Structure 1
Amino acid sequence: MHELSLCESLLGVLSSEAQARHFRRVKAVRLELGAFSCVAPDALDFCFTVVTRGTLAENARLDVVRLTGQAWCLNCGETVCIAERYAPCPQCGTYELQISGGDEMRVTELEVE
């Protein structure tokens, strides 16, 4: 379950930001999670609750925004949305795709005190 180590790293980011920006409590974290990130949102939510217990982010809400997978087709030159990493181009049907989005995991917003 790599979600546990991801949440530990996330807590490290929150702690660093708290020190740099002088806040003492995190109330909510908004996290963008790409379709190809290989992260299970339910497991991430559970691990976040466990890892933040007794910290500045205890009882913080974790808002996960799912992002679709995107790729650029080398054949037709279109940027397309795809559901799976090895899916064909929905425009021309070829498999000559270069992934351009969907593997991200990034904090986009914090609600703090």
Structure 2
Amino acid sequence: MHELSLCEGILQILEDSAKAQGFTTVKSVWLEIGALAGVEQSALEFNFDIVTKGSLASNATLNIINVPGTAWCMQCADTVEVSQRFDACPQCSSYQLQVTGGEEMKIKELEVE
């Protein structure tokens, strides 16, 4: 269950940002999570509430922005959307795909006071 350690990392980023920017409370966090990032969204939401309890983000709302997975198909030379690794190209059914997006997880936006 690596979502727990991901949430601990998020909290560390929030605490470091609070020190650097001078805010004391996090009201909302927007995360961009790629379809190919290997993150279980429900586990992340559950662990976020546990990890942030008693912290500057204890009452923060976690908002998730889903980013589709994309890959470049060597066969048809087009960028296509994929839902998981090793999918076939939805246009030509080739398996010669190179992932180009959807692996990221990043904090996109914060609402603080």
- Residue 87 (1) aligns with residue 87 (2): yes
In structure 2, the gaps of 5 or more residues are none
> Counterparts of 1:32-43 in structure 2 under 5 Å?
32-43=32-43
1:1-47 Cα shifts (integer Å, max 9, x gaps): 11000000000000111111111100000001111111111110110
What letter corresponds to residue 58 of structure 2 in structure 1? E
What is the CA–CA distance in structure 1 between the aligned matches of 2:104 and 2:81, rounded to whole Å? Answer: 15
Relative to the length of structure 2, the TM-score reads 0.96
What is the CA–CA distance in structure 2 between the aligned matches of 1:109 and 1:80, rounded to whole Å? Answer: 27
Structure 1 ranges of 4+ moved more than 3 A? none
Give the SS at the match of 1:8.
Answer: helix
Quote the RMSD (CA, aligned, Å).
0.8
What letter corresponds to residue 109 of structure 2 in structure 1? E
Count residues with an aligned counterpart.
113
Give the SS at the match of 1:16.
Answer: helix
* Matched-pair identity in %: 50
Match of 1:7 in 2: 7
